[in-house]
Structure 1
Amino acid sequence: MMTRKIRKLAVTAMCCAVAAAGLSGCEDDDMNSFPFDEKQKAADFVGAKKFDLDGKSVSVSCSGKLAAGKPVVVLLHGGGDGLSKMAAFQKTLSGKNRVCSYDRLGAGTSDKPDGPQSFTSTGKILTGVLDEIAGDAPVVLAGHSMGGLIAARYAPDHQKRVKGLVLMDATPSTMLADMEQAIPASAKGPAAQVREQNLAIFQGQNPEKLAMPDGKVRSAGNTAVEVIKHGKPYLAAIPESGPRLEQAWTAGQRKWLALSGRSKLTTAEKSGHYIYLEQPDVAVQAVARVSTQAAG
């Protein structure tokens, strides 16, 4: 039983680390392949819909009504998840905002990518989704784990549109290097397994085929930002290297504060990695605060 439990912890850590490496290439010109038309009208559907973006079918779900001057909240799921995981959270948020989520390529019911993906290609799809569901309305990106990393890498280049960020235990920007330091190549047993699995995932061996090198935290200007970190130190349970990984994760959350002078860090004391499921009130309140600032 102990071996099985450790293996489960290793897999959990692996999923977190998928969300963990910083994505580079965010300054590529290809990011804006879906040009933002300031006069574009947002789709006002409620429910599920598929959009053809860059030749791929992308699944999108929207709830709530779009109100003049109020932002559209867009949820970005973590690695290995999909929009269905965030359905209850989306429903709760939609009482006060229009809220949408989508499956990235390789996730949920969206098409699979043809080949390796980078932040550039992922950003192109995100831009296409925003063009369809937000039009010229301001946007708040609320991302969990790897979704938070993608949101944080995307926002600096899209400050005219992205007016708020909520990062829910977002993957730190230097987690790949942090993990290699915490778990040396000489490690044995479960820790070595975690290291090996994560290195493969960072190289693109994941459902989204997304390669994820570390990257710097760049400024998103005066964007309203709330960073929420987990309070239950679940990473510390990984044999030998856990405490170091937990420390690195916490340090990584603090690094995200450099995104903006309007950044705030909150700890969800009763939650593990899935804050929006384990302590949803903390996440809901953060989205509400950021949405109010984004509308101001």
Structure 2
Amino acid sequence: MSKGVKTWVMAALIAVAGAAQADGVSVERDAYTLKAEQAGTGPVVVFESGFGQGPDVWKDVIAALGSGYRGITYARAGQGGSGSDGQAKTIDAHLSDLGAVISNLAPADKVILVGHSYGGLLATEFARRHPERLQGLVLVDPTTIGQRHALKQADSARVQADDAKLLGILPPTLAADYQTLVAQLDAPDAATPRTMPDVPVALLTSTQVAAKPFVLEETVQGKAVWKAQHAMLFAGFARGSHRYFATGHNIHREDPAAIVDAIRTVTDSAASAVH
């Protein structure tokens, strides 16, 4: 049996042994309701999905974590069962919603915040603004605040073409959110490096170049920019780990055990810091 097959078999066995029934929870906002789910007991892990992705993408990770952690997932405004006020959402608006989920479902706990792609950007920014609420941070192939500036320096025409292609296939609500996000990441201040908080971090970076790249980030040139952005991001943290994986962008779906290992490592690091 190959190492990869063994990993998947072990993950499946852990999932069967540790699966817990998820409880649906509503988080009320001023003009809409966010739908969240939580399962398990123990250290609280809050998951933030990538752009346009729902909370179900974390189900294999949560199952493999087992009932010894309390996993919290939710759908961002306008997605899944969550409502919306009809306005395109800025980074700040999404951070406010994330803060409400944490405050409502884990008011007395420091949480481990896990974010993928755009969710990784949100997790990073939340950590910068509210480090006192976190035990640690797990960033799964995250978007960085300065990546569009770096990608435009590499190939501005390709970035514009990718934007047009994405806007042509996204549903209207997500297209509006994407345009708002792009405007924020293209702003001059997005190129300024951010100061990172003193929390343990586990950063996971994908290295696979797509056989038929859909966007610049999947090309050899784009992947070099991506890795450089992640190296710069990690350099801003005082403690943690940065690992590379020969997978595509969705590491948590291709290798959920890697995310479980990262969560446990961050948990242990936070615990050792206390003692």
Please report the TM-score for the alignment, with normalisation by the length of structure 2. Answer: 0.78
Distance 2:72 2:31 in 1: 21
Deviation per CA, 1:141-191, whole angstroms, max 9, x where unpaired?
100111011100111110111221100000122222233233333x6xxx7
Q: Is the Cα–Cα contact under 8 Å of residues 74 and 100 in structure 1 kept in the other structure?
A: yes
CA distance in 1, matches of 2:117, 2:204: 11
Q: How does 1:1-296 map to 2 (within 5 A)?
A: 46-66=22-42, 71-185=43-157, 193-197=161-165, 206=174, 209=177, 211-212=180-181, 213-214=184-185, 215=190, 216-234=192-210, 237=213, 242-269=219-246, 271-295=247-271, 296=274
Contact 1:235/1:245 (8 A) holds in 2: no
What is the alpha-carbon distance in structure 1 between the residues aligned to residue 176 and residue 35 of structure 2? 14
Match of 2:174, SS state, is coil
Q: CA separation of 1:94/1:113 partners in 2, compared to 1, >3 Å: closer, same or farther?
A: farther
Checking the alignment, whether the CA contact within 8 Å between 2:40 and 2:67 is kept in structure 1 is yes
**1:259 Cα deviation after fit:** 3.9
Offset, 1:231: 2.8
* Contact map agreement 2:127 2:197 (CA 8 A) in 1: no
CA drift of 1:250 comes to 0.9
Q: In structure 2, do the counterparts of structure 1 residues 64 and 178 end up closer, same or farther at CA, with 3 Å as the change threshold?
A: same
Conserved? CA contact 1:268–1:282, under 8 Å: no
Identity %: 24
Q: Match for residue 41 of structure 1?
A: none
Q: What residue number does 2:10 align with?
A: none
User: What TM-score do the two structures reach when normalised by structure 1?
Assistant: 0.73
- Cα 1:239/1:133, change in 2 over 3 Å: closer
One-letter amino acid matched to 1:286: A
- Label 1:129 to 1:135 Cα distance change in 2 as closer, same or farther (>3 A): same
More helix, by proportion: 2
Q: Is the 8 A contact 1:173 1:252 kept in 2?
A: no
CA drift of 1:139 comes to 0.8
Higher relative contact order (CA 8 A, sep 6+): 1
RMSD over aligned Cα atoms: 2.7
Structure 1: stretches of 5+ with no match in the other structure: 1-44
1:31 is aligned to none
Count of residues in Structure 1 that have an aligned counterpart in Structure 2: 241
Conserved in 2, the CA contact under 8 Å of 1:235 and 1:243?
Answer: no
- Classify the secondary structure of the residue corresponding to 1:237: coil
CA contact (8 A) 1:224 1:294 kept: yes
| Shift in alpha-carbon separation, 1:151–1:273, aligned structure 2, 3 A | same
CA distance in 2, matches of 1:236, 1:222: 39
- In 2, the alpha carbon distance for the partners of 1:239 and 1:77 equals 19
Distance 1:209 1:278, change over 3 A: same
C-alpha offsets along residues 13-64 of structure 1, whole Å, 9 cap, x if unaligned?
A: xxxxxxxxxxxxxxxxxxxxxxxxxxxxxxxx94222221233110101111
